[in-house]
Chain A
């Protein structure tokens, strides 16, 4: 479903992704871990189309399409979703308007009828209940004054409403209490299906207790330097990143049998 080959990206002349390879099949969940500043968010943002990063080489093919050639909104409409590490506050735009505009943009693209106000409210209220958000969050400005955890729930809400085919969660678990963590995990697990793929960027093996990944990758210095089954996450938790070495040497472990449950 997703093939990233030798991806290189930089910002303001500084190379960040230095030949990154990643292959994700439909139905799989991949976790990406790695030290701060290694390029995880950069990868996520480049995939979503952030123009501040320049792509200097390599390719990203998504269902046979050249992802990098698609405009930002086309990627979203085609089913790519990025849950932001730092969701943006947009004063003056109500969350309700924002969610409805997003859902309808995507529905229109998929040839589905756009939701009217009533249908939308019914739908969004059900999803808000599932992610544990009070209705008042519909009428507040997008993310404005939301706590860290509330912002993350709002990202999960958007993901649930947009029903992406490829979702990238960038540290959606960071700063969450244990209940919120379950909400995120639940949101992801509800989305799991044979025709969808998910990439979960996290620092904590804890999340992977709830979202069991098919593969775990370590991103360091702009490359995937090690890949393995979920036990790799446990190993990282125990030993940190030091033992991997960060010369950019690439190791590959085939996923342990049974890890892809």
Chain B
């Protein structure tokens, strides 16, 4: 069972063995976090940030380890292909050194597993770890239980030459995994971080993930998340970034797997002239559910934010988007734009898109728009009138709708990867393979 009490006892059983358990600050944060979780419980629709996604069912939900053995090496090989770059692999929420391939890093770049870094860099981690009050109760559960993740620190001006891939593979022996990734980028540093989530068998399992990104002045961080967990998985994640003056943050959230996936993505402009791009693409079918809850906090002037979310909703699925934008009183000349477009592939699918603008400054540009539509009949007819059969034409138009989100991914190998992941989800994707 996943009732609150189960998690509290799990915490009691595990906490002494968690990496860094001997660090007083960390033990205290974990203790506060589990208390907060026990106090608040799973969010329900009564919670203002969870109006379209209730986790009340979690009280009753059973989670069990995968019934079959997991060949993590094979899963990784299939995922990685021949792509170079820096790879950190986590199996069952724990760093798997033998599968990882960090490779040579430029000087000034530090990449460690969180468990390792707690031994050698605990002060840096304390500053970046976050605390029990962050996010909502699922994030607090992560704060209490996260045993591993990545710790990335870039000295000022250091640029990672290739993407850093953080791969989470569901293991055979655990029913839940809790990852915490910390990225600290010095001024002018640059990196692309890719989080992958795969695996999870026939039985229900839980992944929680918290990613915290601190970008100093003029740093440029691109974050891409490719969530392809098994269809019984529950995936609860948050990505939180803080940007100093002139920092640039891009987030691409591709959510294709899991029975229920929730991504809280927020960034705060802590200095003037920050830029953020939040790009998202999701596909759900059956009775699956996906929710992106975003918040851009224009705390300082001259910030520019762009949000684009696109959803493909099939079966009786539901796609939820909330775009909260806060512009502080002195954040003059802020420019915020937001769009959410959903394509319904079935009459029973449902889309919710909601902007939440809170604007206290007067010299600002804010725009938002949302659409929900079906496949365009004129386009369908045009394609068929050129000899394409209806199924091919529908798939092509579905793909085309999603492709716009892919085009915002600048690095070509990542874009191709995202495209392949999408085509693998779409029925008849192989027909469209030559688009690759």
Contacts and interface: CB of A to CB of B under 8 A. Distances in A.
Given A90-B379, A92-B401, A92-B404, A72 B396 contact: no
Contact of A73 (B379, B389, B404, B434): B389
Q: DSSP class of B's interface residues: helix, strand, loop or mixed?
A: helix
A133 to B, nearest CB: 17
Given A48-B381, A88-B382, A105-B389, 19 more contacts: A48-B385, A50-B381, A72-B381, A73-B384, A73-B388, A76-B385, A76-B387, A88-B379, A90-B382, A90-B383, A93-B400, A93-B403, A97-B435, A101-B396, A102-B386, A105-B388, A158-B386, A162-B386, A162-B387
A49 B377 contact: no
Given A73-B387, A102-B386, A106-B387, A92 B403 contact: yes
A112 B366 CA distance: 55
Interface string A87-120: 1101111100110111001100100000001000
Interface of B: 376-379, 381-390, 392, 396-397, 399-404, 434-435
A146 interface: no
A52 interface: yes
Interface in A170-200: none
Nearest to B407: A92
Interface in A138-157: 141
Contacts of B402: 92
A29 B242 CA distance: 68
Contacts of A158: 386
B390 to A, nearest CB: 7
A84 B384 CA distance: 13
Interface in A187-232: none
Contacts of B379: 88, 90
Contacts of A82: 385
A165 interface: no
A166 to B, nearest CB: 13
Contacts of A92: 399-404
Nearest to B396: A93
Contacts of A40: none
B388 A102 contact: yes
Given A73-B389, A106-B387, A162-B386, A93 B381 contact: no
A97 B388 contact: no
A50 B403 CA distance: 27
A77 interface: yes
Contact of B387 (A77, A94, A97): A77
A249 B129 CA distance: 85
A92 B405 CA distance: 10
Residue among B376, B389, B392, B404 facing the most chain A CB atoms (10 A cut-off): B389
Contact of A101 (B376, B378, B385, B392): B392
Interface residues of A, number: 32
Given A52-B377, A88-B379, A90-B379, A76 B400 contact: no
Q: When A and B form their complex, which 10 residue pairs have the shortest distance between CB atoms, in order from nearest? A: A92-B400, A105-B387, A102-B386, A92-B403, A76-B387, A88-B382, A72-B384, A93-B400, A106-B387, A73-B384
A73 B388 CA distance: 6
A98 B435 contact: no
Contacts of A77: 387
Contacts of A48: 381, 385
A90 B399 CA distance: 11
Interface string A34-56: 00000000000000111110000
A75 B385 CA distance: 8
Contacts, number: 79
18 contacts: A73-B387, A76-B384, A76-B385, A76-B387, A82-B385, A88-B378, A88-B379, A92-B399, A92-B402, A92-B404, A93-B396, A98-B383, A101-B386, A101-B396, A102-B386, A102-B387, A106-B387, A162-B387
A98 B387 CA distance: 10
Given A90-B400, A92-B404, A93-B400, A98 B386 contact: yes
A75 B378 CA distance: 17
Contacts of B385: 48-49, 72-73, 75-76, 82
A237 to B, nearest CB: 31
Given A88-B378, A101-B392, A93 B397 contact: yes
Contacts of B400: 90-93, 141
Contacts of A75: 385
Contacts of B384: 49, 71-73, 76
B259 to A, nearest CB: 28
A101 B387 CA distance: 8
Pick from B382, B396, B399 the residue with the most CB of A within 10 Å: B382
Given A52-B377, A88-B382, A92-B401, A109 B387 contact: yes
B367 to A, nearest CB: 20
A234 to B, nearest CB: 33
Q: Which of B376, B384, B434 has the most CB of A within 10 A?
A: B384
A48 B387 CA distance: 11
A219 B381 CA distance: 24
A89 to B, nearest CB: 8
Contacts of B401: 92
Interface string A66-88: 00000111011100001010011
Nearest to B384: A72
Most buried by A among B379, B385, B390: B385
Contacts of B382: 84, 87-88, 90
Nearest to A86: B378
A106 to B, nearest CB: 5
Given A52-B377, A91-B404, A92-B404, A97 B434 contact: yes
A71 B388 CA distance: 11
Contacts of A90: 379, 382-383, 397, 400
Contacts of B381: 48-51, 72, 88
Contacts of B383: 90, 98
A90 B390 CA distance: 15
B167 to A, nearest CB: 29
A103 to B, nearest CB: 8
A62 B379 CA distance: 25
Contacts of B392: 101, 105
Nearest to A45: B381
